[in-house]
Structure 1
Amino acid sequence: MERKPLILGAAYHGNRMPHHAREDMRDMMRNGMDLVVHMFSHTDWDRHKNKMKDILSISEEVGLESWVDNWGLAGPPGDKSHFLSYHPEAHQIYSNGEMDPVRVCLNSEAFRAFTKEWIDTVYYIGGRTIFWDEPHLPHKEVDGKDYYSCTCPTCRKLFEEKYGYPMPETYNDDVAKFRLDTIAGYFREVTAYSALKGMKNIVCVMLGEEHGIHLGTLDSICSIDTLDNIGSDPYWLHYPEITGNKVYDFVFENTKKNLDVSAKYGKDHNIWIQTYNTPRGREEEIVTATEAAYDAGARTIIAWGYYGSDSNDYAAKNPEKTWMKTCEAFRRIREMERDEILKENRKRNGL
Structure 2
Amino acid sequence: MKRKAEVQVDIEQVKGEIRRYMVEISSALEALDNEKATQAFIDFGALLQDQYPNLLLDDLRKQIGKLMVEECSKLKIPPLDFIAYFVNAREHIYEDVVTDEDSTPQQRQPRLLKMDAANKGINVFSCLLGTGRWEKELEALKGQKLDGPTLANTKKWMLEADYQVSKNLSEAVRKNLLALHFVSDLYENLEKTIAILTRQINEEVQKNRDLYKSYFKGDGQDIDIDALVKALKEGPQSDEHSTEIKMALASYDTLQALTRTLTDAGEGNPTPQDKLRRFQDHLNQEDIKSALDTNPDDGVTQFLKTVLYILKCAVTFTAYHWVTEGESLRSPQQQSLKEALSTLKKAGEEGVIDEPKNIM
Q: Same fold (TM over 0.5)?
A: no
Question: Hey, which of these two has a bigger chunk of strand by percent?
Answer: 1
What TM-score, normalized by structure 2, do the two folds share?
0.28
Question: Hey, which of these two has a bigger chunk of helix by percent?
Answer: 2
